[in-house]
Amino acid sequence: MHECHEDEGLGTAHVFATLTAPSFGPVHSRRTRGGRLLPCRPRRDANARRCPHGRDISCPLRHPEDDPWLGRPLCADCYDYPAAVLFNAYAPELWRRFTIYLARQLAARLGIIQKRLCSEVRARFVKVAEYQARGIVHFHAVIRLDAPGEHYQPPPGHYTTGLLCEAIEHAAASVSLDAGDGPHTRVLRFGAQTDTRPIRRAPEITATGHGLSVQAVANYIAKYATKTLNAPGVPHRPIRDTLRINRLPCSPHYRQMIRTAWDLGCPRALGDPRFRRWAHMLGYSGHYLTKSRRYSVTFGQLRAARTQHRRAQRAPDGERDPWGRQLDERVVLVLANWSYTGTGYRTNGDEQLALAAAARAREYDRWADHAA
């Protein structure tokens, strides 16, 4: 557990927390210690170097940051691909349960009931989702304790940063979720490497487990909010059929995750259409950034301010209609009249082409379902 100290200059408990996914099998990774790059997965014992499938799961290499092997499993047969896809799919639900458990942990540590806790403090957050090299999402969040209300006041003094750090770590360790069905049933949890770091006003950035400056956290959030899955060949749009999966120019690991998500959406498996809808995102269907409504300004306020700013740039003297009059949003302008001209096709040839195209589309859909 990390040692946390209260920052008197900040006025309330602020913590930068990272919640990771568990291991689904050994993968190539980049390890450092004291600024020195370590071997990936060294194994001295010859018996420990072989997995149940007879493959060598040791790796003495020191991977550079741009190594394409980072995140790939050492044995694809040992890697639990259904659990990895299920974790991505249910990660938003795990976070929702984490926020519930966080309030319970705060109340338990103070020895009070949750009703009293809600009358004294509210936990508010902003979080971003980031893809790891292995294709699994994890969350970075700024979690803050406020007094109830809309004025962003600090809570009573006994709600310290240290208390919040302990509650976050225990809540992340307590959350679980039963997902899937039949042979695909898995118990999903967050990983054991939960990191909590208090946010301070000090300008310096210290080592892991100690305080972070406000500017450093802002830089972290900006980086994670603009970072995507850096994997060449992973599609940016939903996948329509299995033929597209087989032709993807991405690594075999990502291709297998996409195929697993597609298979989980099959009626013979889980039958949930969202797995196929979000197969190109490796099963993750959540937003990249979410926040508590009272953490700061709402997205609706930001969009309205952006709209007003663009309007002022486009028309400094105010928008006008096509006749030069001051535009009033309450007035509906009719710019065209529509009339009914008929139903059907103009010629028999157009009708035959439309019917033939529809027949080919139905035949292709039947073939794709059979292939899946």
- For residue range 315-335, what is the model confidence (pLDDT) as tens digits? 887 777 667 777 766 666 666
Q: Is residue 98 assigned to a domain?
A: yes
DSSP-derived 3-state class of residue 227? coil
Tell me the pLDDT tens digit for each residue of 170-193: 999 999 999 988 888 999 999 999
Contacts of 103 (CB under 8 A, 6+ apart): 114, 117, 118, 123
CA angle, 15 as apex, 9 and 17 as ends, to 5°?
160
In a domain, 317, yes or no: no
Tokens standing for 148?
């109830």
pLDDT in tens, 84-96: 999 999 999 999 9
Residue 332, token pair as written in the block: 């509906």
Q: Percentage of the chain with pLDDT > 70?
A: 87
Give the Cα separation of 239 and 261 in Å (integer). 11
- DSSP three-state, residue 327: coil
Considering its fold, how many domains does the chain have in total?
A: 1
From CA 240, how far away is CA 368, in angstroms rounded?
9
DSSP H or E stretch at residue 128? strand 122-131
Q: What is the DSSP string of 243-310?
A: HHHHT--S-HHHHHHHHHHHHHTSTTTT--HHHHHTGGGTT--S-SEEE-TTTSS-HHHHHHHHHHHH
Q: What would the mean pLDDT of 135-164 be, rounded to a whole number?
A: 92
Radius of gyration from C-alpha coordinates of the chain:
27
- Domain membership flag for residue 343: no
Residue with tokens 């959540």: 286
Q: Please list, in sequence order, all residues whose beta carbon lies within 8 angstroms of the beta carbon of residue 89, skipping any fewer than 6 positions away.
A: 179, 261, 274, 275, 278, 283, 284, 285
Whether 224 is in a domain gets the answer yes
In a domain, 50, yes or no: no
203 within domain boundaries? yes
Would you say residue 343 has pLDDT above 50? Answer: yes
- Position 98 confidence tier, pLDDT thresholds 50, 70, 90: very high
Look at residue 308 and tell me if it is in a domain.
Answer: no
At residue 50 the predicted structure's pLDDT band, cuts being 50, 70 and 90, is confident
Q: Maximum distance among all alpha carbons in the chain?
A: 84
348 Rama class: left (phi>0) / alpha (psi -120 to 50) / beta: alpha
Domain holding 195, by residue range, is 14-24+80-291
- Chain-wide mean pLDDT for the chain? 86
Give me the amino acid identity at 314. Answer: R
The pLDDT of residue 275 is: 95
User: Cα–Cα–Cα angle for 128, 130, 133, nearest 5°?
Assistant: 170
Asked if the structure places residue 59 within a domain, the reply is: no
pLDDT, mean of residues 32-50? 83
